[in-house]
Amino acid sequence: MLKKVLILSAAVGAGHLRAADALEKAFVKCGAAEEIRNIDVLNYTNPLFRRLYGKAYIEMVNTMPEVLGWMYDSLDKPWQNERRWLALDRLNAQPLIKFLKNYQPDIAVCTHFLPAEIISWLAAKEKINFPQAIVVTDFDVHAMWLAHRVETYFVAMDETRVHLEKLGIAPEKITVSGIPIDPIFAEQKDKTEMREKYDLATDKLTILVSAGGFGVGNIEHLLIALSELQTPAQILAICGRNEELKAKLDALAAEKLNNRTVVFKPIGYTTQMDELMSAADLIVGKPGGLTTSEALAKRLIFVIVNPIPGQEERNSDHLLENGCAIKCNNLPTLAYKIDRLVADESRFETMRENARKFGKPTSVTDIARQLTAL
pLDDT at 231 over 90: yes
Average pLDDT, integer, range 56-79: 76
Average pLDDT, integer, range 49-73: 73
**Residue 6's pLDDT is what?**
96
The pTM of the whole model exceeds 0.85? yes
- What are φ and ψ of residue 241, in 5° steps? -85, 5
- Contact in structure between 5 and 38 (CB atoms under 8 Å): no
The separation between the first and the last C-alpha atoms of the chain, rounded to the nearest angstrom, is 10
- What are φ and ψ of residue 218, in 5° steps? -65, -40
Exposure pattern of 103-132 as b/e (b: 16+ CB <10 Å)?
Answer: eebbbbbbbbbbbbbbbbbbbeeeebebbb
Fold equal for 2-178+362-373 and 187-358: yes
**Residue 210's pLDDT is what?**
82
**Residue 152's pLDDT is what?**
95
- Contact in structure between 115 and 150 (CB atoms under 8 Å): no
Query: Which of 58, 39, 55 lies closest to 47 in space, CA to CA?
Result: 55
Domain boundaries, the chain: 2-178+362-373, 187-358
Q: What is the CATH architecture assignment of 187-358?
A: 3-Layer(aba) Sandwich (3.40)
What is the CB neighbour count within 10 angstroms for residue 255? 8
- Contact in structure between 351 and 243 (CB atoms under 8 Å): no
SS3 369: helix
What band does 213 get if pLDDT is binned at 50, 70 and 90?
Answer: low
- Contact in structure between 135 and 154 (CB atoms under 8 Å): yes
**Residue 148's pLDDT is what?**
87
- Give the burial class of 211: count Cβ atoms within 10 A of its Cβ; 0-12 exposed, 13-18 middle, 19 or more buried: buried
Rounded to whole angstroms, the Cα distance separating 165 from 224 reads 46
pLDDT at 81 over 80: no
**Residue 69's pLDDT is what?**
78
SS3 246: helix
**Residue 54's pLDDT is what?**
65
**Residue 214's pLDDT is what?**
55
**Residue-averaged pLDDT of the chain:** 89
What is the CB neighbour count within 10 angstroms for residue 260? 6
Q: Hey, what amino acid is at 273?
A: M
Rounded to whole angstroms, the Cα distance separating 81 from 295 reads 34
* pLDDT tens, position by position, 94-141: 889 899 999 999 999 999 998 998 899 888 888 888 999 999 999 999
What band does 84 get if pLDDT is binned at 50, 70 and 90?
Answer: low
Whole-Å CA distances, 218 to 64, 69, 74, 291, 339? 14, 19, 28, 19, 21
* pLDDT tens, position by position, 31-47: 878 899 999 998 988 87
**Residue 56's pLDDT is what?**
66
Helix then strand then coil, in percent of the chain rounded to 5, is: 55, 15, 30
User: What is 2-178+362-373's CATH number?
Assistant: 3.40.50.2000
Q: Which residue has the higher pLDDT, 92 or 244?
A: 244
% of the chain residues with pLDDT over 90: 63
* pLDDT tens, position by position, 263-287: 999 998 888 999 999 999 999 999 9
Rounded to whole angstroms, the Cα distance separating 109 from 132 reads 6
* pLDDT tens, position by position, 172-208: 999 999 999 999 999 999 999 999 999 999 999 999 9
What band does 313 get if pLDDT is binned at 50, 70 and 90?
Answer: very high
